[in-house]
Amino acid sequence: MKRLGIIAGAFALPFAIVLFVQSCTIDPDIPDVLSPEDVKFRIPQGFPQPSYDFSLNPVTIDGFKLGRKLFYDPLLSVDNTISCGSCHQQFVAFAHSEHQVSHGVGGQIGTRNAPGLWNLAWHEDFMWDGGIPHIESQPLGPIENPVEMGETIGNVIAKLEASADYPELFEAAFGSDTITTQRITQAIAQFQGLMISDNSKYDQAMRGEISFTPQEQYGLATFRSKCASCHPEPLFTDHGFHNNGLPPEPTIMDAGRMMITANPADSMKFKTPSLRNIAVTGPYMHDGRFTTLTQCLNHYSGGNMYQSATLDTALTNGIPLTAVEKSDLIAFLGTLTDYTLIEDTKFKEQ
Amino acid sequence: MKHTLRCSLVVALAAVTFFACKPDPVDPDPTPTNPVNPPGPVIPTGSAIGISFENFVGNDSLILDQVIRYQNANGDSFCVEEYKYYISNISFTDNLGNTWYENESYHLIDASDSNSCMVYVDNMPAGTYTSISFMIGVDSARNVSGSQTGALDPANGMFWTWNSGYIMAKIEGRSPSSTSSFNLMIYHIAGFSGPFAAQRWASPAFGSYNAVVTTNTVPTIHMKCDVSEWFKTPNIIDVSSVSVWNTAGAQAAAIADNYMDMFSVTSIDN
């Protein structure tokens, strides 16, 4: 019986090779042919002007493809095991599915929850503490963080220069095969900057293309009266920093924004996350402490805010929410999932 | 049997997946290459001013090694192994009161690289220049303008990635007074905004000297940079209480206040 199994396995082998060699090359269902329209940065109807000026880093097909290859290449980490895409997965809107905090080289874990990626061109600063003031400088954070990718940008440049294919890809994207920090990060900015979320059910309803269900409509009304001061439409974030009353985790004691500004008034403040795609981007909060939206709403409505000098004044007593309001809110938040972004083949690893 | 067959298939598939999906071989230990490999400076033949940054500790030329040979105002002895600083936004004013600003004026001075210590400011109008002004560090605009190249390439090791921004100046050495491991004494001075911004302006006086620029002469300003100024006026630095400092904040700003007068013009060759 055992032997039969081995024989069967041996017979299966050639079949398996064919199957998997094919699956490891480009998926025939995903055309890698991009048109200029595919890589055109656009400002969705109703959105404000973006913070990032793409005219200084014009997106090209070759630049976008280079950025995509870099985004998915574990070469960017010290032991060639972790890519940007390791913690930013497209099927959950580029968040890290089921991971509270970032995982890095050598099995290390960080202290902050890897956020989803969309509408980044509208952000003036990045990371939960806002420590990085520009989309182009952002990749250097995780690349050089010892518990994330643990590499130096100088070594990344050396590895890219020594690779068989990158020099010609830089030449195609930037006109010469010189590889610099600026070119690496501008290519990644071209790729990440095009991750625009503007076609959720919410967006379609706002454009009058479809209708909300009654419960979603009630949820929107509750959202606008009780949540929108920090999560204003259409980006669903005020891009500000707030202490939202979470008790500090004793093993981390994360001071948040204060770690950047050294200002005690910023203690335990974190950047307001956008609520777009919120239904698929759990776990939630800067340290991933909540796994469901119900837990998040229970925190805000429970009246057990961690009282401290920097607690947002709007949250001193929490936000009263009835059980019905909570279920309406969760129904509404579900309309913010943008399947166009999640399924867009041009963002997939090639 | 059916079960075993399925298991074998899974094993075979797993094995094949492993081999078929093996990524392209990447050299696990590539030869590290210095990302900054500047060629020797291009010496202009005219319409330029050279600035020779000459690093000292008091009256002694700065030597980078591990020999404890210097002493600060607090009485702590120390050595220096690395010394780097940014000079940016250079301008010169002539005897008629006209001020000329260098374009893209960003220079990284590395005491271990003599080429970097000789800065040529070229394409200058002819004239008799009587004063200089420059920033020690990098202006806040360039700290928030995305990836930069040349002297400002983050690969130069003068950039913080978690609290993004340039290190304006850094000194690394050792001191028997240090309370850190290996007696390290490390000060990275950074922070580009807010109350503790660490950029400082300097305008070391030319004294009785002038820099005369013509189409065929290049004057050289000998610019002394005195490391001992890091530790004294107005804030005496006690190495035993501040052995390592590498965050923005009041301490960084206090050291920047100290070193803002570390430059002096010792002579100008015309």
How would DSSP label each residue in A87-139? Answer: HSBGGGTTB-TT-SS-B-GGG-B-SSPPPP---GGG-SSBSTT--B-STTTTT
CA nearest A153 in B: which residue? B155
Query: Å from B83 to nearest chain A CA?
Result: 19
The DSSP code for B200 is E
CA distance linking residue A203 with residue A273, whole number of Å? 18
Q: Place B29 in a pLDDT band, splitting at 50, 70 and 90.
A: very low
User: Averaged over B211-235, what is the pLDDT?
Assistant: 96
pLDDT digits (tens, 9 = 90+) for B47-64: 999 999 999 999 999 999
Within a domain: residue B23?
Answer: no
A70-108 as b/e, with b when 16 or more CB fall inside 10 Å?
bbbbbbbbbebbbbbbbbbbbebbbbbeebbbbbbbeee
Nearest to A145 among B162, B164, B248 (CB): B162
> DSSP H helical segments within chain B, as ranges?
2-20, 114-117, 140-143, 250-259
| CA A126 to chain centroid | 11
Q: Which residues of B touch A144 (CB under 8 A)?
A: 161-162
Structure tokens given for A122: 């509208």
At B40 the pLDDT is 61
pLDDT digits (tens, 9 = 90+) for B84-139: 999 999 999 999 999 999 999 999 999 999 999 999 999 999 999 999 999 999 99
Determine what percent of chain B is predicted with pLDDT higher than 70: 85
Query: Å from B178 to nearest chain A CA?
Result: 24
Within a domain: residue B27?
Answer: no
At B90 the pLDDT is 98
Quick one: which of A141, A191, A163, A168 has its CA closest to A38? A191
Within a domain: residue B32?
Answer: no
| Cβ proximity of A237 and A272 under 8 Å | yes
Which of A169, A174, A180, A259 to mutate against chain B (most B CBs within 10 Å)?
A180
CA separation, residue B71 to residues B59, B176, B232 (Å): 12, 11, 11
Domain extent at residue B87: 47-269
CA distance linking residue B238 with residue B258, whole number of Å? 13
CA distance linking residue B192 with residue B88, whole number of Å? 14
Residues 3-32 of B with CB under 8 A from A: 4-5, 7-9, 11-13, 16-17, 20-21, 23-24, 26-28, 30-32
At A220 the pLDDT is 98
User: In terms of pLDDT, which residue wins out, B39 or B198?
Assistant: B198
Quick one: which of B93, B45, B78, B113 has its CA closest to B185? B78
Within a domain: residue B73?
Answer: yes
Residue A34 host element (H or E): none
Q: What is the mean pLDDT of each run of 10 residues along chain A (350 residues)?
A: 43 43 48 88 96 96 98 97 96 94 91 96 97 96 96 97 98 97 98 98 98 98 97 98 96 94 94 98 96 97 92 95 98 98 96
Catalogue the long-range contacts made by A226-230 (C-beta closer than 8 Å, 24 or more residues apart): A226/A319, A226/A321, A226/A325, A227/A275, A227/A319, A227/A329, A229/A314, A230/A272, A230/A312, A230/A314
Within a domain: residue B95?
Answer: yes
At B45 the pLDDT is 77
Chain-wide mean pLDDT for chain B?
Answer: 88
Within a domain: residue B80?
Answer: yes
pLDDT digits (tens, 9 = 90+) for B146-190: 999 999 999 999 999 999 999 999 999 999 999 999 999 999 999
Number of domains in chain B: 1
Nearest to B149 among A23, A24, A182 (CB): A182
Give the dihedral sign, CA B196/B197/B198/B200.
negative
CA separation, residue A114 to residues A97, A283, B14, B206 (Å): 9, 10, 29, 54
pTM of the model: 0.84
CA distance linking residue B42 with residue B24, whole number of Å? 41
The answer to whether B154 contacts A6, with C-beta atoms less than 8 Å apart, is no
Within a domain: residue B17?
Answer: no
Within a domain: residue B132?
Answer: yes
Q: Which residues of B touch A184 (CB under 8 A)?
A: 147
At B41 the pLDDT is 64
Residue B91 has φ and ψ, to the nearest 5°, of -140, 155
Q: Which residues of A touch B1 (CB under 8 A)?
A: 1, 4-5
CA distance linking residue B103 with residue B106, whole number of Å? 9
Q: Does B236 touch chain A (CB under 8 A)?
A: no
CA distance linking residue A237 with residue A228, whole number of Å? 8
Query: Å from A80 to nearest chain B CA?
Result: 8
Q: Which residues of A touch B146 (CB under 8 A)?
A: 56-57, 134-137, 182, 185-186, 189
Q: Which residues of B touch A27 (CB under 8 A)?
A: none
